[in-house]
């Protein structure tokens, strides 16, 4: 029986040959990740109440990214609790202030094809770019995993989304996802979104991770992409071992999809999501001259090295408009180091951008760079829900790093292609 990639991974983790959509199975978790907000501060008291320990500390990865660096005593205490718990429980891997969890997992070779993983964060879907099955869960459910090493899964159906051809200059994976949020809506619950086609095959891992990251905004169980040479090369570059069967982790020919969509990449233009939902997306020309108080390059979606390069491509030799401000919070220290080494950071700072600490920052409204009453922000992040980045009366427009940088130069939303010819 042909199986989708998601079914193949779930079957393997459940100790089965195949699984059918709709059935409920129990899967063994290969890797469990949580961060300073969802992790030890909420899980540790629950484990204590149960008198239970961590089932396998070698399979647990903890990352500090939400409250870093501590801006107040509450945040500092959460970070201290996190560090103490990691030490006391001999947790296998701890990344302290090295970047946003989803990016750090990828950069350090934790994600290999066929892996069944669980994350204490909704954007854990990001790992699907590496042909992993990884979904997000809350703290009590992560506590259950800490105790048992297992989780129940209702085997989801898969929606196949194929993109063919090449993007125009100034269009990227972020535009794909904003477009898809409008096209497919945000309530694709209990389904997996699988991406393929020549456009996806040509993407580097950083761009593929945008597709799987924002599967969360589609409301999907997770996002996933079959393994290929690009996947394998990216894992090799981290120094991690590539499993012998890496390239087998793809959907079978004739796999059962519940829906299939096909799009042409060359038809896509820069897209903008208006407040207060990613699904409120239209082409950039619908928003011409919406003025912006803040331009934010940040988060797991939009501040990787490649995103900083996109912003720099627009900002090179230009200045940020006097009526706005640009905040850049790189997604990882590795991204910062790469961008510093090749001059990308200098392009951003010469243009007038302000460098912020690495971490989730203003995206979830927890770090520096939040918005005041009635302010407007254009952001390379993933969510523009009301009040998310600060004041409930602030307006957040979501866009690609190209479009955020273009708005920075103009002081208002505009087409980034005009800066890239």
Interface residue list for other proteins (CB under 8 A):
24, 37-38, 42, 46, 49-53, 66-67, 72, 74-75, 78, 119-122, 124, 135-141, 143-144, 147-148, 152, 186-187, 189-190, 219, 221, 277, 279, 364-366, 370, 383, 385-388, 390, 392
* Nearest CB to other proteins, comparing residues 346 and 392: 392
* Nearest CB to other proteins, comparing residues 35 and 250: 35
Provide, rounded to whole angstroms, the least separation between the CB of residue 5 and other proteins.
19
Whole-angstrom distance, CA of residue 210 vs CA of residue 231: 15
Provide, rounded to whole angstroms, the least separation between the CB of residue 241 and other proteins.
29
Whole-angstrom distance, CA of residue 167 vs CA of residue 172: 7
* Nearest CB to other proteins, comparing residues 76 and 233: 76
Question: DSSP state, 357?
Answer: -
User: Could you check whether the bond before residue 265 is cis, i.e. omega within 30 degrees of 0?
Assistant: no
* Nearest CB to other proteins, comparing residues 125 and 324: 125
CB count within 10 Å of CB 148 equals 13
Provide, rounded to whole angstroms, the least separation between the CB of residue 65 and other proteins.
13
* Nearest CB to other proteins, comparing residues 193 and 242: 193
- Three-state DSSP string of 33-87: EEECCCCHHHHHHHHHHHCCCCCCHHHEEEEECCCCCCCCHHHHHHHHHHHHHHH
Whole-angstrom distance, CA of residue 179 vs CA of residue 176: 5
Question: DSSP state, 99?
Answer: B
Of 380, 307, 378, 381, the C-alpha closest to 344 is 307
Provide, rounded to whole angstroms, the least separation between the CB of residue 285 and other proteins.
25
Provide, rounded to whole angstroms, the least separation between the CB of residue 311 and other proteins.
24
* Nearest CB to other proteins, comparing residues 38 and 112: 38
Provide, rounded to whole angstroms, the least separation between the CB of residue 189 and other proteins.
5
Provide, rounded to whole angstroms, the least separation between the CB of residue 74 and other proteins.
4
Provide, rounded to whole angstroms, the least separation between the CB of residue 139 and other proteins.
5
Mention every residue, 6+ apart, whose C-beta is less than 8 A from residue 262: 161, 162, 163, 164, 197
* Nearest CB to other proteins, comparing residues 325 and 383: 383
Provide, rounded to whole angstroms, the least separation between the CB of residue 243 and other proteins.
28
293 SS3 class: coil
* Nearest CB to other proteins, comparing residues 3 and 188: 188
Of 238, 4, 255, 253, the C-alpha closest to 112 is 238
Its sign, for the CA torsion 301, 229, 15, 56, is negative
* Nearest CB to other proteins, comparing residues 323 and 393: 393
Residue 387 C-beta-side C-alpha neighbours within 13 Å = 1
Whole-angstrom distance, CA of residue 45 vs CA of residue 196: 42
66, 75 Cβ separation under 8 angstroms: no
Provide, rounded to whole angstroms, the least separation between the CB of residue 124 and other proteins.
8
Residue 250: phi and psi, rounded to 5, are -140, 160
Mention every residue, 6+ apart, whose C-beta is less than 8 A from residue 317: none
User: Could you check whether the bond before residue 16 is cis, i.e. omega within 30 degrees of 0?
Assistant: no
* Nearest CB to other proteins, comparing residues 213 and 306: 213
């Amino acid at each position: 029986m042909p199986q989708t990639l998601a079914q193949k991974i779930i079957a393997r983790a459940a100790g089965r040959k195949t699984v059918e959509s709709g059935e409920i199975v129990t899967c063994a978790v290969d890797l469990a990740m949580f961060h300073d907000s969802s992790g030890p501060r909420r899980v540790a008291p629950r484990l204590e109440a149960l008198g239970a320990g961590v089932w396998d500390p070698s399979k647990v990865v903890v990352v500090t990214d939400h409250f870093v660096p501590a801006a107040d005593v509450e945040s500092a205490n959460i970070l201290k609790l996190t560090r103490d718990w990691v030490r006391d429980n001999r947790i296998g891997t701890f990344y302290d202030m090295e970047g946003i969890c989803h990016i750090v997992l990828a950069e350090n070779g934790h994600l290999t094809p066929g892996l069944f993983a669980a994350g204490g964060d909704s954007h854990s879907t990001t790992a699907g770019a590496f042909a992993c099955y990884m979904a997000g869960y809350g703290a009590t459910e992560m506590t259950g995993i800490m105790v048992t090493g297992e989780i129940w899964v209702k085997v989801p159906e898969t929606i196949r989304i194929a993109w063919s051809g090449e993007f125009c200059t100034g269009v990227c994976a972020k535009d794909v996802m904003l477009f898809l949020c409008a096209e497919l809506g945000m309530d694709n619950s209990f389904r997996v979104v699988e991406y393929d086609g020549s456009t996806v095959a040509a993407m580097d891992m950083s761009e593929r991770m945008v597709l799987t990251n924002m599967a969360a905004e589609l409301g999907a169980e997770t996002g996933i992409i079959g393994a290929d040479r690009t996947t394998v090369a990216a894992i090799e570059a981290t120094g991690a071992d590539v499993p012998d069967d890496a390239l087998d982790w793809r959907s079978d020919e004739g796999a059962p999809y519940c829906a299939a969509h096909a799009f042409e990449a060359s038809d896509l233009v820069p897209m903008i999501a208006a407040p207060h939902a990613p699904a409120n997306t239209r082409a950039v020309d619908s928003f011409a001259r919406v003025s912006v108080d803040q331009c934010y390059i940040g988060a797991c979606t939009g501040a990787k090295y490649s995103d900083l390069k996109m912003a720099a491509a627009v900002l090179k030799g230009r200045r940020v408009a006097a009526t706005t401000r640009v905040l850049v919070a790189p997604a990882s220290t590795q991204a910062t180091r790469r961008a510093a080494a090749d001059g990308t950071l200098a392009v951003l700072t010469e243009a007038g951008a302000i460098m912020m600490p690495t971490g989730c920052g203003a995206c979830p409204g927890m770090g520096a760079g939040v918005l005041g009453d009635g302010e407007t922000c254009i952001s390379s992040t993933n969510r523009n829900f009301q009040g998310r980045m600060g004041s409930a009366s602030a307006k957040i427009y979501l866009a690609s790093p190209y479009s955020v940088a273009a708005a920075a130069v103009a002081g208002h939303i505009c087409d980034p292609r005009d800066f890239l010819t």
